[in-house]
Amino acid sequence: GACGYDNTLHAGFGANTAALSGALFRDGEACGACYQLRCDYRADPKWCLRRASVTITATNFCPSNNNGGWCNPPHHHFDMSLPAFLRIARHGDEGIVPGAMQEERRSPVHLERAIEFQHGDDHERRWQRQREGGMDKGVENQNMAAYE
């Protein structure tokens, strides 16, 4: 994929991965970042699982397209793997559901994993600087209209 991970399972990212729209992908800066996603049960109780969340790793880019335009700018969209999607939504509507996210890229656990699997020395130095600079504290909250 666009992040250079040949096989996300063998790379240690597991099955909970997603391709991110350009607004989130930021020319590859989001590669290896982790996000906690949840389906908005109040907005769609038919398909969303109540109080469910899943932490995914950004492993690919979701290009702009004419299939609903969900990955087109300025949308904040996650094209999730099926195992990740089924952690927050009912089987049978593997499509678009309303949701919210929390970026967890700065958490120490996910940061260590990102450092280990980033390709190239430049990426590793950037991630290491962020950790040494104390940016691994806190969670940045963002809302989005919908994700898959």
pLDDT digits (tens, 9 = 90+) for 18-71: 999 999 999 999 998 999 999 999 988 988 999 999 999 999 999 998 878 889
Q: Is residue 98 part of a domain?
A: yes
Q: Is residue 7 part of a domain?
A: no
Q: Is residue 4 part of a domain?
A: no
- Alpha-carbon Rg of the chain, whole angstroms? 15
Give the β-pairing of 53-61 and 17-20: parallel
Structural domain count of the chain: 1
Q: Is residue 139 part of a domain?
A: yes
Task: Identify the residue with better confidence: 111 or 26.
Answer: 26
What's the whole-model pTM score?
0.68
